[in-house]
Structure 1
Amino acid sequence: MQPRNMSMSGVVDLAAVKAAQEAKAKAEQARAEAARTGGTGAVSPADLVIDVDEAGFDRDVLQRSTEVPVVIDFWAEWCEPCKQLSPVLERLAVEYNGRFLLAKIDVDANQMLMQQFGIQGIPAVFAVVAGQALPLFQGAAGEAQIRQTLDQLVQVAEQRFGLTGLTVDPDAEPGGAPAAGEAPAGPYDSLLEAAARALDGNDLDGAVQAYKNVLAEDPAHPEATLGLAQAELLRRVRDMDPQQVRTDAARDPGDVQAQIAAADLDLAGGHVEDAFGRLVDTVARTAGDDRETARVRLLELFDVVGADHPAVVTARRALARALF
């Protein structure tokens, strides 16, 4: 079976975006703490390949994924293709020199993890980045295809999640890999936690206000800016009739409010390019106040996804062409 390459550049859900921002913050804080204490945080090449079980999954995979992409190799002793694939992955983990961590999971001993990942057959390879699971490929694969997938993984992890990997020191003692710790408490943690609780309880008004409270003190706070944009989007689409919204938008492409509503639905459903393309087209075909209204909403939707997302970069160029 050929590997199923990731499609990370065009699929974004709101939870993943939030996790990306949190991962970036943790990575920056970890680097700052290492610099402050004079530590290098370096690991041995032997620490780049680890065995993981259900008891240590949260610590060894989920927590570590906030500092480095974790590639998971699901295998079993009786699986002949696994015996061919696993050594390749182990060798590449060392060759990539800390750009990803390889976690090996024996499915016979960890049936619950196999079920949680929805694995139907092995070998199966996943990645976890900032707590988000991404399928890489299932079955045997050639080394060239594996390298292509890993190259894409480490590129996305760095560009979108701010994860530059681990520092590797050949002279470091094996077993000295630092565990991912909790980020230092920030001055707005209680307000951000209140916003998160409000979102979990579907109290979108409360979440919006909590994020606004943070931004009143720190207008450039990245997590609050992102959270506010997400909460406001969810509040706008909460009471929409999706079928009616899409019917209205299809019936009159010149109706700016109809196109804005449809774009909100597109983005809330994870259809990033569709949402941006719809509003860029609306900007191109309108003028005056209508054009400005569409442009402003497009900029607001950029905030939901994050400025470094590839779709935002592309849409900004398209918007510039539509305006000028």
Structure 2
Amino acid sequence: MSSLFSTETDATPAPPPANMIIDSDQTSFMADVVDASREIPVLVDFWATWCGPCKTLTPALEKVVRAQGGRVRLVKIDIDKNQALVAQLTRMGLPLQSVPTVVAFWQGQVADTFSGALPESEVRRFVEGLLKMAGSAAPGAELIAQGKEYLEQGDAESAAQHFAAAVQADREKPEAWSGLARALIALGDEEQAAEVLAGVPEKLAEHGEIAGARSALALAAEGRKAQGARAGLEARLAANPDDFEARYELATALNASGERDAAADALLEIVRRNRAWNEDAARLQLLKFFEAWGFDDEATMAARRKLSALLFR
């Protein structure tokens, strides 16, 4: 898609900040790795030209490091050209008997290691763990947290910008995709929200965050239709409290207006009066509300308690 909130990646990745990905050797190892790690976490990639798995791991490492935007450095060491260094580090206890091996340094000390060609997702988790230990959250996590704050404050445009940047930083964060879709819904741009959800990576498609955003999008469309008829729906209910269709549609209109407690109460009233109405439609719609609002939302938790009291009385 092409817009202010595009989640497409550029064909050519942006270069990493200066000196974030470098080749080093035994003469500069102390400066490039040990000393540098007192300021920033450093990953050391021990590799060899004859190593097949290295050809897979090194590009994944470089991609993950670039995505961190300067929060971590990658130093590459060719073991065949630096045999004295490898021997010295092995005597110090580092497991360099096979390659690829990655050693993480922080504050001049070895912080963690792994061997073998891990998939990119595992490399990302390794780096995020290192950053967390170093007290530096991954940029995607910070952007998501900021986006959520803006959304709670009603600043949907700023929220959308932060969530879009979070998607760019890490396309495997379902909270970023979900947040971007929800912010666009709040901006009234349901078409683009649908495009965002259509672009979610396949392996995230069934994640609860994504399912909740889809429900929010569906409810927004329903609510827009119901809001225009709200006065008429309220009049119908005043004339006939058992007009369940009117009460059901009013709940959708109330939800679209952000009146979550009132929306839930309208559906709960249907359950109280006639749970079986329209094949349990009120309860099912309420569950859809819960999914859209989030299961830890205050309105969700309050309505869930009321629903339990009705169902198990």
TM-score norm. by structure 2 comes to 0.43
Question: RCO greater where, 1 or 2, for CA within 8 Å and sep 6 or more?
Answer: 1
Larger Rg: 2
